Amino acid sequence: MRPQARQSAEAQRLGCDMFIVPSASLIAKAAIEAVGAFDELLTGRQDDDLFCRIFSAGLARSLARRTSRS
């Protein structure tokens, strides 16, 4: 993917209303090794930073299923 197209795709993802529950997330060891672990220099929102890097690297998969009948 061209750098400009990649930046555009990342901006689109960040502009969406992503709702991620870190305590309900499973992250593959390979994904952590590819993007690095939590950034210890940040004073907050380390989980958001990690998920953005995982999404930007194209390593995110959704296993969400509907759990209720409404």
The pLDDT value recorded for residue 44 is: 85
The pLDDT value recorded for residue 9 is: 61
Alpha helix (H) residue ranges in 1-70 = 3-15, 29-35, 46-56
The pLDDT value recorded for residue 51 is: 86
- Hey, where are the domains in the chain? 3-56
The pLDDT value recorded for residue 13 is: 60
- Mean pLDDT across the chain: 75
- Assess contact for 56 and 48: CB atoms under 8 A: no
pLDDT < 70 stretches in the chain = 1-19, 62-70
Tell me if the pTM is above 0.85: no
C-alpha span between 60 and 31 (Å, rounded): 9
